Chain A
Amino acid sequence: MENVVVKNQLQQKENNQVKKNLLKLVGIGPLLILLCAIMSLLNPAFLTFSNWINLLNSISAIWIMAMAMTLVLISGGFDLSVGASLAFSGLVLVKLVYVGVPELLAIAITLLVVLIIGMMTNGFFIGKLGLNFFVVTLGTMSLFRGTVYVWTDGQTQYADTLPIVSFLGNGSIGTIPVSIIIMFVIFLITHLFLKYTQFGRGIYVVGGNSTAAKLSGIKVPLILIGVYGMSALYASIAGIIETGKLASVSPTIGSGLELLVAAAVLLGGTSFKGGEGTVIGTTLGVLFIGVLQNGLSLSGISSYWQEVITGGILIFAILLNYFKAKQT
């Protein structure tokens, strides 16, 4: 009797395993390859080197922010304020240079200031006081964006006389744009950080079960403050690159970007419930969105339709995740 039960159970497990493996195949990686294949069939220009440089260059800001957003989601939270932080840091940079601060120093100050603001606002309220992340970041989003409007009086600030900033945004080393190099370095650092440091693993623990984390002696507030600080810092890096690219800071820059960033992270298999996700997955998610938009542009589809299609595909991807989760 016992044997039959055990055998059945094993059989069932095997079946589940097969199903699970099948679902793994329909994850974001294969979908991305499929999408690339379709795009290259629709438009031969898609697979060219220069188009890919273009593509990567266009997604560098999203990619950098998505790295940090991955950490935030793994910790079980969400940061709506990254788009506004991006605009805010661009503005701080430009204003600092206007009052005569040397460019390099201005960049350093900007990064530091935004990092501290991120830790003191989002980090403190969510990590230390335990307020709801959605409400807090919704508030800071409005706060930062509003500050930008007030400070600029709604006028675009020009930044066309900043050689270093413009090098970061538009320059290139050999044939590779600097922004892509920065993006890649950040990706590598974040990946190693998340996988091999106490802090990085701590983020998974806090997101996976914050009660257990606290009872095991992990400093949960500290980790959350760090995570939201990094989120602001990365947004700030993206903001400086964007400023260089556009040679200006418009007060509306980056609005709505937080949702695109979140879409990329979710596509990459990080879930809202926290505790799981990788920056590699996120990278694939960002690439997916980049390829989709690039391919659709090349094919002459209007940006309005692009948005519709992006939305549809996002829901599709989340559905896939749902079925995957149901299997286990």
Chain B
Amino acid sequence: MTIALTKTDTPFALEIKNISKFFPGVVALNQISMNIEWGTIHGIAGENGSGKSTLLRIISGMEKPDQGEVLYNSLSAKESHKLLQKDVAMVTQEPSLVNSLSVAENISIGRRSQNESRWLVNWKKHMQIASDYLEKLGVTDIDLKCKVEHLSPDKQQLILIARALASNPKILLLDEATSSLSEDQTLTLFSVLEELKADGLCIIFISHRLKEYTRLCDYVTILRDSNYIRDLNHEDMTEDFIVTSMVGRELKDYYPEKEATQTEEEAIAFRDFSCRQVKNVSFSVKKGEIFVLAGLDGCGRSELLKGLFGVIPTKGFLEVYGENMKFRNPREAMDKGFSYIPGERKSEGIIAEMSIMENAMLSYRSQKPFWKWIERKFEKEKFLEMKESMQIKAPSIHTLIKTLSGGNQQKVVLARALALKPKFLLLEEPTRGIDVGAKAEIYKLLRELTKQGVTVMISTSELPEAIGIADRIGVMFRGSLQKILHEDEMSEEKVMHYATGN
């Protein structure tokens, strides 16, 4: 099953030797070793938070490993540093386009060093390069002078890929490069990748759609909880086997049992509800239900929650237990019993320089008049109780939140919302970047809450999560609600089917 490492005469493109990486409170990579050959497409699979993106960043040289090293062409990191910088192109998960620049400039950024003039910009050449590569990727209906911020997510992603290709890399790293592409666009990309592979390029590929691994990759390396699990070559690859390797246990004990906690009472009803990308959505959520919004990035699911919580302006009607409402800011929503857990924990969730207790007590405090003294003793008791019941693992209540692992940080943010005893809990990507154990605990907690009559709405990009926890799934596509799936008709295929506009 593992690849035989006999061919010592032909050096590998990349040899990864005992790489470890630590972040405060977590081991992100634990002694990973693998080899990657020229002229292959090598997949790295693992759940969110298993360390695959970190591994890719280390390979690209963006981050340094704490232990171990990456050999490029049998050269050590020190010797190959300059070379690697020139030869590697990476498409990152986070959009890294310069929003205020045109399409053409964004694509030719990577190319600038090879332009004939050191000082002057050759606009004509920029345009040429840009249109060449976009055409290759099947994009023809795009104005090269248009600013990229005005483009749809799929176009932006293709521009990112075009930029990587334009730099003529020998090693191409794709981290979730297909996440917002349609089926057709993905197929075109794959045929380009096959061509590049035939030219001898080494391509490393990460995706959240498992069938893309089986379709495209020659080898797949599986990571689980920061550890190397196994390599699969093309013949051994089946989606099921990849999943069991990734998860390492049956999915059943991962998600709490779905009990009928929902009632028939309508808790939240949207009528012709619009905000930013969301267009005229009408549906209702029942009391005590876990309603999951699924769909591709940019489909409007996170905007819908933000609109509901009053973060962004909305149009249309919103009824909460039959009462017409409109929230102009989060504060008003909170006064009506809503709580919101943002998707970007670091930039929207935690106050990095503050203790876990203060982080957890933020919302509770904000309900008090601002001139009041802080109720230190009461807060301490309250937090200790929550720390215990939610199993937040931290040395003390005064520990700075930034030193905790993602899972524990997320629990603190959850505690902040729960301190208000909300009637409605809105969560975005509730388990992004946290380890398996913490995930299961959070799922359990959410189910417990619904038993107490709390209505939960979740927006997630992870299909297994959506299916595992939801009572109903609302699938969104380009701002409209495409389909509501009930429990007996949920499957990843079905969700993807509706999420891509069918």
Residue numbers in B under 8 Å from A219 (CB-CB): 331, 366, 370
Per CB-CB distance, the 9 closest pairs between chain A and chain B, nearest first, are: A208-B351, A217-B334, A216-B362, A217-B366, A199-B370, A218-B366, A216-B363, A211-B348, A198-B370
- Contact (Cβ within 8 A) B22 A198: no
The answer on a CB contact under 8 Å between B365 and A198 is yes
Q: Does B463 contact A (CB under 8 A)?
A: no
Whether B353 is near chain A, meaning CB under 8 Å from some CB there, is yes
Contacting residues, chain A, for B372 (C-beta < 8 A)? 197-198
Q: How far is the CB of B382 from chain A (nearest CB, A)?
A: 15
Q: Is the CB of A198 within 8 A of B31?
A: no
Interface residues of B (CB under 8 A from A): 20, 22, 27, 30-31, 66-67, 309, 311, 329-331, 334, 340, 342, 347-354, 358, 362-363, 365-374, 376, 416
Interface of B, helix, strand, loop or mixed by DSSP:
mixed
CA distance in complex: A209, B354 (Å): 10
B68 to chain A, nearest CB (A): 11
Q: Check A202 for interface membership: any CB of B closer than 8 A.
A: yes
Q: Which residues of B contact A226 (CB under 8 A)?
A: 370
A209-B352, A275-B354 are known contacts; what are 9 more A-B pairs with Cβ within 8 Å?
Answer: A198-B373, A209-B348, A211-B347, A212-B349, A213-B351, A215-B340, A215-B342, A217-B363, A218-B366
Contact A275 B31 (CB under 8 A): no
Contact partners of B373 in chain A: CB under 8 A: 196-198
A197 touches B374 (CB 8 A): yes
* B367, A217: Cβ atoms closer than 8 Å: yes
Q: List 24 A-B contacts (CB under 8 A).
A: A1-B31, A5-B31, A9-B27, A198-B365, A198-B369, A201-B358, A201-B374, A204-B354, A205-B351, A205-B362, A208-B354, A209-B350, A209-B351, A211-B347, A212-B347, A212-B349, A215-B340, A215-B342, A215-B349, A217-B331, A217-B334, A218-B365, A222-B370, A275-B352
A211 to chain B, nearest CB (A): 5
Q: A9-B27, A202-B365, A205-B362 known; A196 and B340 CB under 8 Å? A: no
A19 interfacial by beta-carbon distance below 8 Å: no
B351 and A212: CB pair below 8 A? yes
A200's closest neighbor in chain B, by CB? Answer: B374
Quote the shortest CB–CB distance from A321 to chain B (angstroms): 14
- Is A198 in contact with B368, judged by CB distance below 8 angstroms? yes
Q: How far is the CA of A226 from the CA of B371 in the complex (A)?
A: 11
Instruction: Determine how close the nearest CB of chain A comes to the CB of B242; give it in whole angstroms.
Output: 25
In whole angstroms, what is the CA distance A12 to B30 when docked?
A: 15
Closest-by-CB residue of B relative to A226 is B370
Determine whether A276 belongs to the interface, using a CB cutoff of 8 Å to chain B.
yes
Secondary structure dominating the interface of A:
helix
Contact residues in B for A50 (Cβ distance below 8 Å): none
The residue that B365 contacts in the complex, of A9, A201, A208, with Cβ under 8 A, is A201
Q: How far is the CB of B345 from chain A (nearest CB, A)?
A: 9
Is A155 an interface position by the 8 A CB rule?
Answer: no
Q: Which residues of A contact B368 (CB under 8 A)?
A: 198
Partner of B311 from A215, A218, A223 at Cβ < 8 Å? A215
Partner of A205, one of B27, B66, B354, B371: B354
Q: Does A24 contact B (CB under 8 A)?
A: no
- Complex CA–CA separation, A196 to B368 (angstroms): 13
Given the interface contacts A198-B369, A199-B370, A223-B370, does A215 sit within 8 Å of B330 by beta carbon?
yes
CA distance A205 to B361 in the complex (A): 11
- Which one of A5, A204, A217, A222 lies within 8 Å of B351 (CB-CB)? A204
Check A215–B370 contact: CB distance below 8 A: no
CB–CB B363/A202 < 8 A: no
Residue interface mask A218-245, B partner, CB < 8 A = 1: 1100110010000000000000000000
Q: Per a CB cutoff under 8 Å, which of B67, B340, B347, B358 touches A209? A: B347
B172 to chain A, nearest CB (A): 31
A275 to B359, CA, bound (A): 13
Instruction: Tell me which of B347, B363, B365 has the highest count of chain A C-beta atoms within 10 A of its own C-beta.
Output: B365
Report the Cα distance A76→B368, complex, angstroms. 23
Q: Which of B20, B342, B353, B376 contacts A275 (CB 8 A)?
A: B353
Task: Answer yes or no: A8 CB below 8 A from chain B CBs.
Answer: yes
Q: How far is the CB of B415 from chain A (nearest CB, A)?
A: 12
Q: How long is the Cα–Cα vector from A209 to B309 in the complex, in angstroms?
A: 18
Cβ–Cβ < 8 Å partners of A216 in chain B: 330, 362-363, 366, 416
Q: Is the CB of A212 within 8 A of B348?
A: yes
Distance in Å: Cβ of B37 to nearest Cβ of chain A: 26
Q: Which residues of the other chain, A, contact B370 by a CB distance below 8 angstroms?
A: 197-199, 202, 219, 222-223, 226
Among A201, A222, A275, find the residue whose CB has the most chain B CB atoms closer than 10 A: A201
CA distance A276 to B358 in the complex (A): 14
Residues of chain B contacted by A196 (CB below 8 angstroms)? 373-374, 376
Task: Report the separation of the CA atoms of residues A251 and B358 in the bound assembly, to the nearest whole angstrom.
Answer: 45
Please measure, in the bound complex, the distance between the C-alpha atom of A138 and the C-alpha atom of B157, giving whole angstroms: 40
Shortest distance in angstroms between A261's beta carbon and chain B's nearest beta carbon?
23
In the complex, chain A residues whose CB is within 8 Å of the CB of B30: 2, 5
